[in-house]
Amino acid sequence: MAAEGSQEQGPGLPAHLVEWIESVAGGTLTSARRMAGGGRKQAWFVDIDRGGEAHRLFFRWDPTDLADTGDPWTVRREAAIYEALNGSGLPVAAFVGLHPTAQALLLTCLPGEARFSKMREETDRVAVARDFIRHLAALHRLDPRNLGLLPADSTVTLPDLVRDQLAEFDAIIAVRGGAVDPMLQLALDWLRANVPTATGPIVVVQGDTGPGNFMYEDGKVTAIVDWELAHLGDPMDDVAWVQLRSLQDPFGDLDALFTEYAEVSGNALDAGRIRYYRVLAEAKIMVMGHGVSVRERSDGEGGGGDPGARLIFGQLHRRLCAETLADVMGVELPAAASLPDTARTDDDALFEVVLRQMRDVITPHVHDSLAQQRIKGLARALKYLSESSRHRAFVDAAELAEIDAALGTHHADAATARAALATAVALHTIDPAVALRTVYQQILRQNELLRSASGVLAERHYAPVSAR
């Protein structure tokens, strides 16, 4: 929650939120700065003047309409976790206030840097990673009953809690409507049929835990942040999330870290459960994006969010969902194939001119961190559009042929064929292994279209899981 890289944003916070912040903080708001990150919720630094003394607080706000999204991972849910963990000994911001009606939360502001990739010294990276994994072990040693998060007489089981997560997924899909991505449908079907039978312990699972969602300074973790996905469940769920986030931001020697986690937490690593929760985590990310197109996106800043980031990370996790599902199902997936060479066109030259001017003319003069992030996202989107424009005819023809071969049908175009495949998966009229291989071929071509925009993410894969 450090202010490094943040800049004054306009328009600023709505007047009614400023009034609430001032009433809770007991002072006058002198500035509000929007962070470039913050995930699916807006994150702000707010400076408060209390009788001549300056204080900085952290403000978390979700301006979206939850009735439209069906999102259960709310700011209010996150606030309950912060309140429960205050006094636990974990490095978390102190709870200051929760807005009575809006999805708005005020916390103390802790020092540190969130971008793990900024560390260049290997000794520092190892020290911070080990400190984080020890804090994760400490979190999993806490009794949810003592935190007020689980009734003392509760008889809930780990399988019950997994089914609760799957029920949340179903509820979101029902609210948003529309056809379910066949990749997601295959994952949900398998998850429902293979819920782990482990008996305990039940712990507080941060969810989305790992590099990027903690802050550090001087070789130590100063704050664990972003608790919107927190829930009660299996410690192996968090282990899977650390692996997931490590694919986005490499986190060092995971084998060594998990060996230490097992020793400190007392929780032996269970390879089968970790593999299950990797599928669950990837499915959850896909559920978050279900039914939300770029045109429908609304985040309080004119809509659209960061389309480039949504493209590359959406592709990354759709591919990883397929690969984790193939792992647990024992399905051999097809190998990647390159796209054909095509002759350059005037459109290709135009894309290059636009990208070059964004990089060399515009970006050097933009110092606002949120705007810089958006420019980077737009450049990614343009790189994808350039590749898609060049190869769309080939991609659609290949997809049409593969789906028709899998279904034994003949469709007029790729869009109709995609819809037919989604229906067949939903109605269970196609063998799941056949469907998975067919979808994965589409995913591989999309990976090639996004390769330039994705960079190293195009080649990131989960490592095999071993028990400790």
Evaluate if residue 278 carries a pLDDT over 70. Answer: yes
DSSP-derived secondary structure letter, 362: I
Q: How many CB atoms lie within 10 A of CB 325?
A: 26
Q: Label residue 6 by pLDDT band (50, 70, 90).
A: very low
Q: Which residues on adjacent β-strands are paired with residue 220?
A: 217
CB of 245 within 8 A of CB of 210? yes
Token output for 449: 């279209």
What's the pLDDT tens digit per position in 320-335?
Answer: 999 999 999 999 999 9
Q: How many CB atoms lie within 10 A of CB 347?
A: 12
* DSSP-derived 3-state class of residue 222: strand
Evaluate if residue 2 carries a pLDDT over 50. Answer: no
Residue recorded with tokens 């050097």: 364
Check residue 60 and give left, alpha or beta (phi > 0: left; psi -120 to 50: alpha). Answer: beta
Give the pairing of strands 95-98 and 104-108: antiparallel
Tell me the C-alpha distance between 396 and 414, whole Å.
5
Average pLDDT, the chain: 91
Evaluate if residue 38 carries a pLDDT over 80. Answer: no
Burial 132-161 (b: 16+ CB within 10 A, else e): bbbbbbebbebebeebebeeeeeeeebeeb
Evaluate if residue 255 carries a pLDDT over 70. Answer: yes
* DSSP-derived 3-state class of residue 47: strand
Q: Label residue 304 by pLDDT band (50, 70, 90).
A: low
Q: Label residue 444 by pLDDT band (50, 70, 90).
A: very high
What's the pLDDT tens digit per position in 344-377?
Answer: 888 888 888 998 898 889 989 888 877 888 898 8
CB of 61 within 8 A of CB of 17? yes
What's the pLDDT tens digit per position in 380-433?
Answer: 999 999 999 999 999 999 999 999 999 999 999 999 999 999 999 999 999 999
Predicted local distance difference test score (pLDDT) of residue 120: 84
DSSP code string of 76-133? HHHHHHHHHHTTSSS--PPEEEE-SSSSEEEEE----B--GGG---HHHHHHHHHHHH
Domains of the chain listed by start with CATH number: 7-108 (3.30.200.20), 116-289 (3.90.1200.10), 307-459 (no CATH)
* DSSP-derived 3-state class of residue 40: coil
Token output for 234: 């299996």
> Distance of alpha carbon 52 from its chain centroid, rounded?
40
